Chains A and B, each alone.
Chain A
Amino acid sequence: MILDFLKSLKDKPAFDQSLEISPYAAMMGFRFVRRDDQLTTEMKYHGDLVGSPFPPALHGGTVASLLEMAAILQLAWDIDMARLPKAIDITIDYLRSGKPEDTFARATVFRQGRRFATLHAAAWQSEPEKPIATAMLHFQLVD
């Protein structure tokens, strides 16, 4: 289903898609965006993402989840696959507190083998040069 959704977007040079097809992605406010031939996964700010009311900050877990979504979408975009890859592990470095605003994430396939792939991902807010979190992820491509 998600793979079909990605396939339907392949030929579009630019898009800004909500991920309403997935209940969890919709709840998180995730969007999948292609602009200037770059793919970004966005997390629209809303109150349910908050981890601390004072001072207002995003819950770190929401940023981890965004990084993971960005990675899986990038991997499924880059590689022709019959099924979504299976997550093996994720290691997140939390670099800065997340402000109550929109958050963006981008992932790159660092190495892809026959069975596994290693991705790096970064998330930022208003200042792209100041990532709020980075992650390294491993996925299993085939069962």
Chain B
Amino acid sequence: MASSGGIALLKKDRIISFHGINLNELVLHIPHAKRLGLRFIEKRGDNLVIEMPYSPELEVIPDTGLMANGAITAFLDTALGAAVSDQFEVFRRIATLDLRVDYFDKPRPHSAVRVKTRCLKVTDQIVFVQGDAYCEDESVPIAHAVAAFSHTELLLPGKDAPETKSDVGQIS
């Protein structure tokens, strides 16, 4: 098994579960991801494919069929977070340190958007990831994102969890 700083890393293609939920799907159970309607499509080697279905609620301007850039940004943030979680054998607490999104083109009207992620590097504290958003054709991205996430041990409430000083970063 691969390891980084003594932390067990997940093998490619393997999907493991946490309380009956696939690890790479777990991030999709968070309230905002649910609100965006995100769904896990597949894991191909180290790549995750996640979809945000078209919804009129996500239009900035009604009746255009175009989902908001903001929704696509939040989707990319979540998808990259899922890719980070997917790197580890055990669920870890992750936070986005920074995120850069390039908008190449508008999404296709009334079309679902998919993101395919790729993990670039895992260090003992950081995971570097990127992802492409596309509509129908994977080879024609509409947006590209790159991010750095921190990862730390997940401490559940109770006596095991010491008072932690809040650090840089935000939850995805």
Interface residues of A (CB under 8 A from B): 1-2, 21-25, 27-28, 47-54, 57-66, 68-69, 86-98, 132-133
A142 to B78, CA, bound (A): 31
CB-CB under 8 A for A94 and B32, given A22-B60, A64-B77, A88-B103? no
Chain B residues within 8 Å of A87, by CB: 69, 103
A54 to B73, CA, bound (A): 23
Interface residues of B (CB under 8 A from A): 30-35, 56-62, 67-71, 73-78, 95-103, 156-157, 166, 168-172
Closest to A86 in B: B103
In the A-B complex, list the 8 residue pairs whose CB atoms are closest, starting with the nearest: A61-B74, A65-B70, A60-B170, A61-B77, A59-B32, A51-B171, A94-B170, A24-B68
Q: Are B169 and A94 in contact (CB under 8 A)?
A: yes
Chain A residues within 8 Å of B30, by CB: 50-53, 59
Q: Are A28 and B170 in contact (CB under 8 A)?
A: no
Chain B residues within 8 Å of A53, by CB: 30-31
Q: Are B59 and A23 in contact (CB under 8 A)?
A: yes
DSSP class of A's interface residues: helix, strand, loop or mixed? mixed
A17 to B88, CA, bound (A): 45
CB-CB under 8 A for A65 and B71, given A23-B56, A59-B30, A60-B172? yes
A57 to B32, CA, bound (A): 11
Instruction: Jot down 22 A-B pairs with beta carbons below 8 A, ordered by A.
Output: A22-B62, A24-B60, A25-B60, A28-B70, A48-B34, A51-B32, A53-B30, A57-B171, A59-B33, A59-B170, A61-B74, A65-B71, A69-B70, A87-B69, A88-B102, A91-B98, A92-B99, A94-B95, A94-B97, A94-B99, A96-B168, A132-B170
CB-CB under 8 A for A23 and B170, given A59-B77, A61-B74, A89-B103? no
CB-CB under 8 A for A50 and B32, given A57-B171, A92-B98, A92-B100? yes
